[in-house]
Amino acid sequence: MKKMTKIIAAVMALVLLVSITACGKSGLTLEDIKADGKLIVATNSEFPPFEYKDGDAVVGFDMDLCAYIAKEIGVTMEVLDIAFEDVIANIQSGSAHIGAAGMTVKPDRLQNVDFSDTYFKASQVIILKEDAAFTATSELKNMNIGVQDGTTGADYVRENIKEPMGFASGALAIEAMKAGQIDCVIIDNYPAIEFVKKNPGLKVYETPLTVEEYAIAIPKNSPELVEVINKVIKDLTANGEFDKLLEKYELK
Ligand code: GLN
């Protein structure tokens, strides 16, 4: 019995400690961002039309959206262009204030970051060589599938089909398919359309494999930042600017 009491006391102490750490840990405030003088946005610029390079500049739908967020906070915007799979870690470490990378809201990501309201519906689709005979997704199990590391596409293939071949970017996966190393690439639907436009000889098998929604990734425990980002999304939707952005990037 005494032992039991000790165990219960130890468990209760642990629970208290964990909850204090969770509540006490403050995230990012708007003052913090203003003190830095700029909003640092982590992204991966190989995901058109959401983020891509135009010369040296990183542009795209997400970047325009973040420019509005920076303006609302009253600072300029700076892009931290890194591998997609490193975006969340860079927000956690404070190297970036937010992440805007066509990022799908997923329960396991919510353990490490918070998300804004969602702003775009997406799905995973299959890119194939134009001459590939492919009629049903059940054929995927017999194919070598390329994905981008750390993405929902990679998760989908691993959980539902087989171990995929991972690449640092969608563009590298496409190159590997053109070189005959893999049979197809599974990636988000709008980037897939862009990749096929730029690479003659490829096609998209458009049957959606997943249903997903993109949101801005925000450090944990940063309620002001969540509020301001959600306000920008709401305002742009209400005043028609959001629709204009969708049209600008051929997302509707
Ligand atoms: N939407 C996918 C994900 O969140 C892919 C994002 C990306 O590659 N930029 O995993």
Nearest-angstrom CA–CA distance, 23 and 250: 42
CATH superfamily of this structure's domain 28-121+214-248: Periplasmic binding protein-like II (3.40.190.10)
Mutate to test the pocket of ligand 1, among 79, 148, 251 (most ligand atoms within 8 A of CB): 148
Q: Read off the pLDDT of residues 82-140 as tens digits, 9 standing for 90 and up.
A: 999 999 999 999 999 999 999 999 999 999 999 999 999 999 999 999 999 999 999 99
Q: How far is the CA of 6 from the centre of ligand 1 (A)?
A: 47
Pairing, β 124-129 against β 184-188: antiparallel
Mutate to test the pocket of ligand 1, among 116, 152, 187, 209 (most ligand atoms within 8 A of CB): 152
Q: How far is the CA of 107 from the centre of ligand 1 (A)?
A: 14
Nearest-angstrom CA–CA distance, 238 and 233: 9
Cα angle vertex 41, ends 117, 223, to 5°?
A: 45
Question: What mean pLDDT is predicted for residues 180-192?
Answer: 98
Indicate which atom in ligand 1 lies nearest the CA of residue 214. Answer: 1
Q: Which of these, 217, 236, 244, 208, lies nearest to 80 by C-alpha position? A: 217
Q: Read off the pLDDT of residues 36-85 as tens digits, 9 standing for 90 and up.
A: 999 999 999 999 999 999 999 999 999 999 999 999 999 999 999 999 99
Task: State the average pLDDT for the chain.
Answer: 93
| pLDDT tier, 6 (very low <50, low <70, confident <90, very high otherwise) | low
- Predicted confidence at residue 26, as pLDDT, reads 83
CATH 3.40.190.10 occupies which residues in the chain? 28-121+214-248, 124-210
Contact 196, 202 (CB under 8 A): yes
Q: How far is the CA of 152 from the centre of ligand 1 (A)?
A: 6
- Predicted confidence at residue 7, as pLDDT, reads 55
Phi and psi torsions of 104, nearest 5°: -80, 140
| pLDDT tier, 8 (very low <50, low <70, confident <90, very high otherwise) | low
Q: How far is the CA of 78 from the centre of ligand 1 (A)?
A: 20
Topology annotation, domain 124-210: D-Maltodextrin-Binding Protein; domain 2 (3.40.190)
